[in-house]
Amino acid sequence: MLDVEGARITYVGTQVAILLFGISLVQSWVFFQECSRDPVHLRLTALIILYDWVISHIVDLDRVLRLSVLHD
pLDDT in tens, the chain (72 residues): 456 666 666 677 778 778 877 887 887 777 777 766 666 667 777 777 778 778 777 777 777 777 666 655
Q: Where are the beta strands (DSSP E) in the chain?
A: none
Longest dimension (CA), the chain: 56
pLDDT for res 6: 63
- pTM (2 d.p.): 0.44
pLDDT for res 54: 80
CA distances from 71 to 8, 24, 31, 60, 63 (A): 12, 27, 37, 16, 12
